Amino acid sequence: MRLVIARCSVDYIGRLTAHLPMAPRLLMVKNDGSVLVHADGGSYKPLNWMSPPCRLVEADGQWTVTNKAGEQLVITLEDVLHDSSHELGIDPGLVKDGVEAHLQVLLAEHIETLGDGYRLVRREYPTAIGPVDILARDPAGSAVAVEIKRRGEIDGVEQLTRYLELLNRDPLLAPVRGVFAAQEIKPQARTLAQDRGIECLVLDYNAMRGLDNSADRLF
Amino acid sequence: MRLVIARCSVDYIGRLTAHLPMAPRLLMVKNDGSVLVHADGGSYKPLNWMSPPCRLVEADGQWTVTNKAGEQLVITLEDVLHDSSHELGIDPGLVKDGVEAHLQVLLAEHIETLGDGYRLVRREYPTAIGPVDILARDPAGSAVAVEIKRRGEIDGVEQLTRYLELLNRDPLLAPVRGVFAAQEIKPQARTLAQDRGIECLVLDYNAMRGLDNSADRLF
DNA sequence: CCGTTAATCTCGTAA
DNA sequence: TTACGAGGTTAACGG
């Protein structure tokens, strides 16, 4: 990894065009050729960048980074205040927990969260347009399709609606009810769901973890 | 901005929990207190990070970064290979061009792209669930609602469908036809649109720019 | 390789 | 402040 602090101007020409006026910034050149231009603020997203695979040509105080699609990042350097290189090696990578997949496992394990007498049919129930998160049967034996989100927004309701439309064409399943389950459900999503006869269910992640069988945990 | 190259392990406890084993990495500490942990590969996203506003406490080879929500990033340093600080000042910021807003302006200016005899009613035509990109009248005087995307995907068709449902409740407008306009329309989106009687229109950004009245340009 | 979906999304804008 | 849509989204996963 090479780190350069320099006054520079940057132009990106690709999916859009963008320009950064001359100012002091950090240029990070990674081992895979990718280049990141960072300012001393903002969040983790660089002001401008080129993703790998790409090629960096340095000539006459100007860096030209090109990728296979012909997108270009042109960096013009005026004053170089710092320039150092470092060998880091390959990173062992990140281990995560707490995302939608885990919510799905937890709800499948504790399907009674939907109500007493519910039975799990399966997780990732396949359909022509993709898998439904959970398919279950209610105490009366009717099919119930569950869409799980960390944050329940309008797109998730649309997604569940498409699944329900398809599942209800299957005479072995119909009628299929929908349940929209999320840690947090936005008001607009809730309104749309209710308008379509879809039940909303707020999941308590920590409470469900508390019920969790530790042998089955993802981590 | 402070740049540290060090062997470190990192733990994030917040919206999820995540762990990085001990390995050499770049630690970037920005002026606003935010911290980025970068490896020598991957793309512009750091392996782990804390967004501002947050506070960094350094004690005994361990950095603890905490934000207002109580999320924590704990970095344990083993070997510090590099440590330097640099004053960059406030960045003047980025200038962009080529996005959806510009497509909307261009199509409104050249409404005949929809067909001969079309007339613009207005851009950003307001409805209860948000503005429709363009409302127009066809040569017969019927209302036409246009949804514009850079890339036409299934979500955009859903969005236009919701607008059409609402607009068609207005007796002064109904019946309202839909046009889904984009630089590129994905097959699934096209299929869904056709299924719903929505016309698809592929926009040629460069050709429309060529027609553009230069006095009205955004840039 | 393509399509779909999630994301500690980020980032802007408007109500 | 919140909500919503767009993103050079990026990244992961499955067919």
User: A81-85, A133-137, B66-70: which range is least confident on average?
Assistant: B66-70
Q: Where does the pLDDT of residue A190 fall: very low under 50, low under 70, confident under 90, or very high at 90 and above? A: confident
State the Cα–Cα distance between residues A67 and B150, nearest whole angstrom: 21
Task: Return the residue matching tokens 């980074």.
Answer: A65
State the Cα–Cα distance between residues A15 and B70, nearest whole angstrom: 38
Domains and CATH numbers, chain B: 2-85 (2.70.180.20), 100-213 (3.40.1350.10)
Chain A segment 52-71 residues within 8 A of B by beta carbon are: 52
Specify the pLDDT at position A210: 64
C-beta of residue A29 within 8 angstroms of C-beta of residue A56: yes
The pair of structure tokens assigned to B218 is 């955004």
State the Cα–Cα distance between residues A44 and B35, nearest whole angstrom: 8
* Backbone φ and ψ of B193, nearest 5°: -60, -50
Provide the CA B7 to C1' C5 distance, Å, integer: 34
B52: cis peptide before it, omega within 30°?
A: no
Test mutation, A29, A43, A45, A192, chain B, max B CBs within 10 A: A43
Residues in A 68-107 whose C-beta is less than 7 A from nucleic strand D are 71, 73
CB-CB neighbors (< 8 A) of A196 in chain B: none
Specify the pLDDT at position B144: 94
pLDDT in tens, B186-212: 777 888 888 889 999 988 776 776 664
Share of chain B above pLDDT 90, in %: 44
Return the nearest residue to C8, CA–C1': B15
Among chain B residues, CA nearest to A23: B91
Residue A30, pLDDT > 90, answer yes
Please tell me which residue, B155 or A111, carries the higher pLDDT value.
A111
Specify the pLDDT at position A203: 84
Nearest C-alpha neighbor of A151 from the set A186, A190, A103 = A186
CB-CB neighbors (< 8 A) of A187 in chain B: none
Specify the pairing of strand B119-125 against strand B132-137.
Answer: antiparallel
Specify the pLDDT at position B3: 97
Please tell me which residue, B112 or A154, carries the higher pLDDT value.
B112
Q: What is the mean pLDDT of residues B99-106?
A: 76
State the Cα–Cα distance between residues B211 and A116, nearest whole angstrom: 65
